[in-house]
C-alpha cells in the first residue's frame, strides 16, 4: 500500500513538473498522470480494507500527530503562496528563464514612444492563457507604466476578431496610438518583435539586390526569405529592391546593400557601381553560396577577402536532412566582435553547405579585416563545391588541411567619404525561412547587419520565439524534450529510492 502511494505521488509530481515547465501536457505528462492516479486509487482501496484496524485508540494516537503535521504543512504552503502573491514576489524556476525578461525586451520597452495596451483574446477553456497572462504581467511590471494589459473573450469580441485578423484563441494585440500589431503566438520573442515593430523608425534603407537569381525576400515557404524581410522591418529598416541588371549607381539613400546568394555573374557595370559606392564609404553584407561564380568574389578580393570555391566539411557536425555528414556545420567558435556579441559555445549558429570566407590581406594599413565565426578545428575543405550543392558527397583531397575555417569575415575601411564596412557570409541558406530562427542564426545575421550599417546600439541577443517543426531544434524545443521523456530517468531514480525507503521502514 505504502509503496503504491509513494509511486503514485512521484508520478503525479513528474506530470505536474512537465506541465508547469512546458505549459502543456505531452505524452510523458499524460502517461504519468494516468499511472499516478491509478497507483493512488489502488493504494486508497488497500487502505480502506485496513480502515477497521485504524479505529482503535492506539491507532488514533499514532495517526493524529501525522495528520496534524500534514494539515499544518498544507496550511503553511497556502499561506506562503498567498503572501507571495500579495507581495508580488515572482520566482522564475523554468530552465530557460521563460518569465525573466531578456535585456533586449527591456530595451524595447524603454524605447517605446508612448503607452502600449496589450489585449489578450482568449476562449474560456484555453489553458495556454495562464502562461500568457503571467508573461503580460511581467511585461507590464517591467514597463514602468508604459504597458497596460487587459483580457477579452473571443466570443464577445467579433468586431475585434475581424479588425485585427485574429485566427485563434490566446492571441495578443499590441496597440500604440493608431498602430497595432497582432501576435498569434505570444512568447516573449514574439512580443518583443511586436514591440519593436510598433516603435520602429524606418529611417535607414536596405537595398536588396535582384535580377541574377538572388534569394527572394518576397517568397514564402522554406526556401524563401520573407522571414529575413520581416526581421529587417522589425529592426527598423526600410527594405527596397535594387535590380542589378540595370544598375549604374547605387541609390544615394542606401544605408546598406544586401546580396543574398546571386546565382549568375553580375554585369560589369553593376560591379563597378558597387565598387565606386564602397570606395565612398558604402556598406555591404553579402551571403555567397559555394559553387557559384558571381563576379562579386573578384570585387571582394580587392578588399582582402578570400573566397575559395569549396565547401567546409566539419566532422563534429552530423548529417542533416539527408545531406552527407559534416557539410552542415554548427558553429560555436567566435572571435570578439560586435557582430558576435553575446554568442559563445552554448549559443550556436547552423549553416548549410557553406564556403570558407578568409581574411587574406588588408588593402591599406589602417584597414581592419578579420574572421569572426568558425567551424570546429577538425574542419577541412571539399573542392567539389557545385556537386555538394546538388547533394553529392564531399571529396576529400589527398592532403586535407584541418583548421578553424571561417564562415563569416568582416572588414572596416576608413575612406575619404566615410568608413566602408563589408561583411561576408559563406552561406545563404542559414538565413532562409527554414533556418533563420534555428538556434542563434537570426542574432548573428541581424547583429552583423547592424554593425555594417553602423547601428551598434541595436546589437543584442533577442528572446527566442517557439518555432514548431524547425530543424535543427531551437533551444526551447530541446528543453521541451527534456521536460518530457528527459525527466523519465530522474523520475525512475526517485521512485526506486522511495520504494527502497518504504520497504526498509516496513521491515
Alpha helices, DSSP H, located in 415-464 = 441-452
Q: Which long-range contacts (CB under 8 A, 24 or more apart) does 103-106 make?
A: 103/460, 103/461, 104/192, 104/460, 104/461, 104/462, 104/463, 105/139, 105/142, 105/188, 105/191, 105/192, 105/195, 105/463, 106/142
Copy the grid coordinates of residue 496.
Answer: 526506486
pLDDT tens string 307-344:
999 999 999 887 777 788 999 999 999 999 999 999 99
Task: Tell me the mean pLDDT in the region 49-77.
Answer: 72
Residues with Cβ within 8 Å of residue 256, at least 6 apart in sequence: 204, 205, 206, 207, 237, 283, 284, 285, 449, 452, 453
Contact 278, 416 (CB under 8 A): no
What is the rounded distance in angstroms from the CA atom of residue 408 to the CA atom of residue 345? Answer: 16
Give the pLDDT score at 82: 80
Residue holding cell 499511472? 35
What is the rounded distance in angstroms from the CA atom of residue 203 to the CA atom of residue 214? Answer: 25
Radius of gyration of the chain (CA): 29
Share above pLDDT 70 across residues of the chain, in percent, rounded to a whole number: 82
pLDDT tens string 301-313:
999 999 999 999 9
Using 50, 70 and 90 to split pLDDT, how confident is the model at 39? Answer: confident
How is residue 307 annotated by DSSP? -
pLDDT tens string 481-502:
454 555 666 666 766 776 676 6
Helix/strand/coil percent split, the chain, to 5: 40, 20, 40
Give the pLDDT score at 477: 47
pLDDT tens string 267-277:
999 999 999 99
pLDDT tens string 430-473:
999 999 998 899 999 999 999 999 999 889 888 876 443 334 44
Question: To the nearest whole number, what is the mean pLDDT of the chain?
Answer: 85
Closest CA to 432 of 312, 325, 507, 321: 321
Query: What is the pTM (predicted TM-score) of this model?
Result: 0.75
Strand blocks (E) in 66-143? 116-122
Contact 336, 442 (CB under 8 A): no
Side-chain half-sphere exposure of 431, counting CA atoms within 13 A: 32
| Strand 418-425, strand 283-287: pairing | parallel
Residue 214 CA, distance from chain mean position: 25
What is the rounded distance in angstroms from the CA atom of residue 107 to the CA atom of residue 458? Answer: 10
What is the rounded distance in angstroms from the CA atom of residue 326 to the CA atom of residue 340? Answer: 23
Sheet holding 333-334, edge to edge: 237-243, 204-210, 254-260, 283-287, 418-425, 406-415, 368-374, 333-334
Copy the grid coordinates of residue 231.
Answer: 526581421
pLDDT tens string 145-184:
889 999 999 989 999 999 999 999 999 999 999 999 999 9
How is residue 453 annotated by DSSP? T
What is the rounded distance in angstroms from the CA atom of residue 191 to the CA atom of residue 463? Answer: 9
Domains and CATH numbers, the chain: 2-90+488-506 (no CATH), 103-196 (3.40.30.10), 202-463 (3.40.50.880)
Share above pLDDT 90 across residues of the chain, in percent, rounded to a whole number: 53
Amino acid at each position: 500500500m505504502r509503496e503504491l502511494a509513494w509511486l503514485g505521488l512521484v508520478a503525479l509530481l513528474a506530470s505536474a513538473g512537465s506541465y508547469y515547465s512546458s505549459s502543456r501536457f505531452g505524452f510523458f505528462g499524460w502517461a504519468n498522470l494516468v499511472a499516478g492516479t491509478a497507483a493512488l486509487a489502488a493504494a486508497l482501496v488497500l487502505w480502506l480494507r485496513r480502515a477497521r484496524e485504524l479505529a482503535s485508540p492506539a491507532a488514533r494516537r499514532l495517526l493524529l500527530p501525522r495528520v496534524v503535521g500534514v494539515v499544518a504543512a498544507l496550511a503553511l504552503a497556502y499561506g506562503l503562496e498567498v503572501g507571495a502573491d500579495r507581495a508580488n514576489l515572482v520566482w522564475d524556476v523554468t530552465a530557460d528563464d521563460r518569465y525573466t525578461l531578456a535585456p533586449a525586451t527591456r530595451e524595447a520597452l524603454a524605447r517605446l514612444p508612448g503607452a502600449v495596451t496589450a489585449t489578450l483574446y482568449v476562449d474560456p477553456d484555453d489553458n495556454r492563457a495562464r502562461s500568457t497572462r503571467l508573461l503580460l504581467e511581467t511585461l507590464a511590471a517591467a514597463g514602468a507604466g508604459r504597458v497596460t494589459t487587459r483580457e477579452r473573450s473571443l466570443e464577445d469580441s467579433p468586431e475585434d476578431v475581424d479588425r485585427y485578423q485574429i485566427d485563434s484563441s490566446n492571441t495578443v494585440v499590441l496597440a500604440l496610438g493608431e498602430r497595432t500589431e497582432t501576435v498569434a503566438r505570444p512568447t516573449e520573442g514574439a512580443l518583443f518583435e511586436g514591440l519593436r515593430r510598433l516603435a520602429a523608425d524606418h529611417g535607414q534603407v536596405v537595398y536588396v539586390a535582384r535580377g541574377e537569381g538572388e534569394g527572394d525576400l518576397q517568397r514564402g515557404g522554406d526556401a524563401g526569405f520573407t522571414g529575413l524581410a520581416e526581421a529587417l522591418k522589425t529592426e527598423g529598416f526600410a527594405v527596397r529592391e535594387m535590380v542589378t541588371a540595370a544598375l549604374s549607381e547605387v541609390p544615394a539613400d542606401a544605408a546598406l546593400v544586401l546580396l543574398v546568394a546571386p546565382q549568375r555573374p553580375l554585369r560589369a557595370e553593376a560591379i563597378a557601381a558597387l565598387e565606386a559606392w564602397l570606395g565612398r564609404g558604402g556598406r555591404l553584407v553579402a551571403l555567397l553560396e559555394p559553387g557559384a561564380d558571381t563576379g562579386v568574389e573578384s570585387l571582394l578580393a580587392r578588399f582582402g577577402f578570400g573566397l575559395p570555391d569549396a565547401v567546409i566539411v566539419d566532422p563534429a557536425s552530423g548529417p542533416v536532412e539527408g545531406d552527407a555528414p559534416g557539410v552542415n556545420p554548427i558553429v560555436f567558435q567566435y572571435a570578439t566582435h560586435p557582430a558576435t556579441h553575446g554568442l559563445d559555445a552554448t549559443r550556436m549558429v547552423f549553416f548549410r553547405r557553406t564556403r570558407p570566407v578568409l581574411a587574406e590581406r588588408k588593402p591599406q594599413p589602417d584597414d581592419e579585416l578579420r574572421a569572426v565565426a568558425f567551424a570546429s578545428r577538425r574542419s577541412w575543405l571539399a573542392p567539389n563545391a557545385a556537386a555538394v550543392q546538388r547533394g553529392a558527397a564531399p571529396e576529400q583531397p589527398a592532403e586535407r588541411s584541418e583548421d578553424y575555417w571561417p564562415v563569416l569575415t568582416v572588414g572596416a575601411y576608413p575612406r575619404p567619404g566615410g568608413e566602408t564596412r563589408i561583411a561576408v557570409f559563406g552561406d545563404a541558406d542559414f538565413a532562409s525561412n527554414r533556418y533563420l530562427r534555428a538556434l542563434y542564426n537570426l542574432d548573428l545575421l541581424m547583429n552583423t547587419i547592424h554593425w555594417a550599417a553602423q547601428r551598434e546600439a541595436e546589437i543584442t541577443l533577442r528572446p527566442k520565439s517557439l518555432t514548431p517543426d524547425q530543424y535543427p531544434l531551437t533551444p526551447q524545443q530541446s528543453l521541451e524534450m527534456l521536460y518530457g521523456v528527459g525527466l523519465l530517468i530522474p523520475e525512475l531514480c526517485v521512485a526506486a529510492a522511495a520504494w527502497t525507503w518504504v520497504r526498509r521502514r516496513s521491515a
